[in-house]
Amino acid sequence: MSILITGGAGFIGSHTCVEILDAGYDVVVVDNLSNSSRKALERVEKITGKTLKFYEADVRNTDALRKIFSENSIDAVIHFAGYKAVGESVREPLKYYDNNIGCTVSLLSVMDEFGVKRIVFSSSATVYGIPEKMPITEEMPLSAINPYGRTKLFIEEILRDRYNADNGWSIALLRYFNPIGAHKSGLIGESPKGIPNNLMPFISQVAVGRLTELHVFGDDYNTSDGTGSRDYIHVVDLAKGHVKAIEWAFTHTGCEAFNLGTGKGTTVMELRDAFVRASGVDIPYVIDPRRPGDLDELYASCDKAKSVLGWEATLNINDMCKDTWLWQRDNPNGYD
């Protein structure tokens, strides 16, 4: 069985390539390397001892996709390709609508041409907007609070329409909470370009001296220590969730959303302290004002993923910090 992985050279994509190869599938990756490196794929091959097929192409390019589908017998697709920086999406919304929605429409049209009807899509907890209560369950109301989130919401709607028009499709909408961590080999991990937007890569870059101190955005939230709380999930657990979703897609039809998280919240200071313990390196910090748009806390109910997919997270915050540290220590400049 052959799985096409769009955006497979990226952070979550590369870890998913490892798990999908280890599960015995053939892997074909399409990525334009706009936010990733070819080295990640070489390292996937090193970790697994298996080869994958790589096409450097833009997913919006339907001719390039037709070539990939003609040259390979694709059975299912995992679709990661897209942009993900919330702040940039506010400044440059069209760039996000063009790329994130453009990739999806192009991909679905070529899948249609080749009769491939199984897709696993990278959605996000951001589709819950400002949730009324915790934990967040899949049937809670959806809304968007920034253009990035709106692209995820629209793509979910496009995929629901695709299923409604043809019930032969299998569509898994995986709503990730906060993916962090790295492969335990230390060979692949998160390698953001420029100054990181997200908390964990910021902490790990302070640890290796690329940044001087952590800026904690607000200490007056309604949480145990006043700093924001999120449901961090180890990227390897997340990647294994994609294997379960692919197995589901091979045995079911439907369009179903699944939360992938741990069900537990961790505050900024708890994550910083866990990282200090795991690395033995001090992380100096300053308290800054709140970042606009941030919420007190967010955590998932993952009961549906457990009961329907047979998946649950197994790695804890200490594992996430230990593995991130190993990756960042051995690759202080990421893949650069």
Residues found near ligand NAD in the complex (CB under 6 A): 7, 9-13, 31-36, 58-60, 80-82, 84, 99, 103, 122, 124, 176, 179
- Residues of this chain that bind ligand WQD (CB under 6 A): 84, 86, 124, 126, 178, 197-199, 202, 215-217, 228, 230, 268, 291, 294
Nearer to ligand NAD, 162 or 242 (CB): 242
SS (H, E, C) 180-218: ECCCCCCCCCCCCCCCCCCHHHHHHHHHCCCCCCEEEEC
Is the Cα dihedral 106, 108, 109, 110 positive or negative? positive
**169 is in the binding site of which of ligand NAD, ligand WQD, none (Cβ under 5 to 8 A by kind)?**
none
Chosen from ligand NAD, ligand WQD, none, partner binding at 86 (C-beta under 5 to 8 Å by type):
ligand WQD
User: Alpha helices of 72-171 — where are they, by DSSP H?
Assistant: 86-91, 93-96, 102-114, 147-165
The yes-or-no answer on residue 163 being catalytic is: no
- For residue 182, the partner it binds in ligand WQD, ligand NAD, none, with Cβ less than 5 to 8 A by kind, is none
Give the other-Cβ count within 10 Å of 150's Cβ. Answer: 20
**67 burial level (CB within 10 Å; 0-12, 13-18, 19+):** middle
Closest to ligand WQD by CB, 65 or 126: 126
- Residues 119-141 as b or e (16 or more Cβ within 10 Å = b): bbbbbbbbbbbebeebbbbbeee
Closest CB to ligand WQD among residues 96, 311: 96
Query: Residue 54 binds which one of ligand NAD, ligand WQD, none, with CB within 5 to 8 A depending on kind?
Result: none
Q: Considering 148, 163, 221, 299, which one is annotated as catalytic?
A: 148
| Chain Cα centroid distance, residue 229 | 18
CB of 74 to ligand WQD, least distance (A): 26
Looking at the annotation, which residues are catalytic? 148
